[in-house]
Structure 1
Amino acid sequence: MSNKKYHVQKKPFVVPTTDGKLIEEHFGNATDGNSDVSVAHMIAPPKWSEPFQTPKFDEFTYIIKGKKQFIIDDEIIILKAGQSIKIEKNTRVQYSNPFDEACEYLAVCLPAFAMDLVNREE
């Protein structure tokens, strides 16, 4: 048994997707059972989008490369590399990358991302 006070994540959980988006969860429900916080590295391909959702978690997004579009309460916000945003829980939001280049970013969710908390619209 290890008594280390840290954990180096070398094998993040790759979430299976059908839309070409890469999701590598480094910490969270799928990786280490942590429901308090999730940290994921993502790459959204050009022209990617997902349905509107009203998550029951705060989500912090930091853009590493490219641009990402957010529609929050009918307002369109576009972030580029080096910018970040916090979207509070119970906020209706749509995430997309309508641009011609991939968008690489980090997402942190408090509490951790879980399908039963995301409330995606059909």
Structure 2
Amino acid sequence: MQPPNVRCRPYEVERRAHHAARPGFRIAEMQIGPTQTIPWHYHTEVQDTFYVIGGTIRVFTREPDEEVCLTVGMTYSVRPGRPHLVANAGDISAVFLVLQGMGEHDFVPLT
């Protein structure tokens, strides 16, 4: 079963695996290199909850502007509709889970 929007990803990551995909909910594991980002975007219905497994990431948000640095074991949630960007904050690959729900997943890039 492929999760929504698999064919139209507007960005590259080192590795992506899906551990669960159910109607209205999914868990993805992502690995991003030291220079990689998940560009500015938002989700119409789903909340993103990030859980860091290895390395360090920074989550930048708007409305309001915020920057959060997450290390192993830390979590952070971004409400539906809130623009955000995820970046590797270290010099090694970062691995993290993204729990997304409840609702239909979409990826709305910001221009």
| TM-score class, shorter | 0.7 to 0.9
Q: Distance in 1 between matches of 2:104 and 2:18?
A: 10
Larger Rg: 1
Query: Normalising by structure 2, what TM-score?
Result: 0.79
Q: Which structure is higher in RCO with an 8 Å CA cutoff and minimum separation 6?
A: 2
Identity rate, percent: 16
Q: Distance in 2 between matches of 1:45 and 1:113?
A: 28
Structure 2: any 5+ residue segments left out of the alignment?
Answer: none
Within the candidate set 17, 25, 30, 2:18 is matched to 25
Structure 1: any 5+ residue segments left out of the alignment?
Answer: 1-11, 29-33
Aligned length: 104
Q: Which residue of 2 aligns with 1:110?
A: 101
Contact 1:43 1:102 in 2 (8 A): yes
1:66 matches 2:55: yes
Report the aligned-residue RMSD. Answer: 2.3
Contact 2:69 2:89 in 1 (8 A): no
Contact 2:17 2:29 in 1 (8 A): yes
Q: Distance in 2 between matches of 1:26 and 1:42?
A: 11
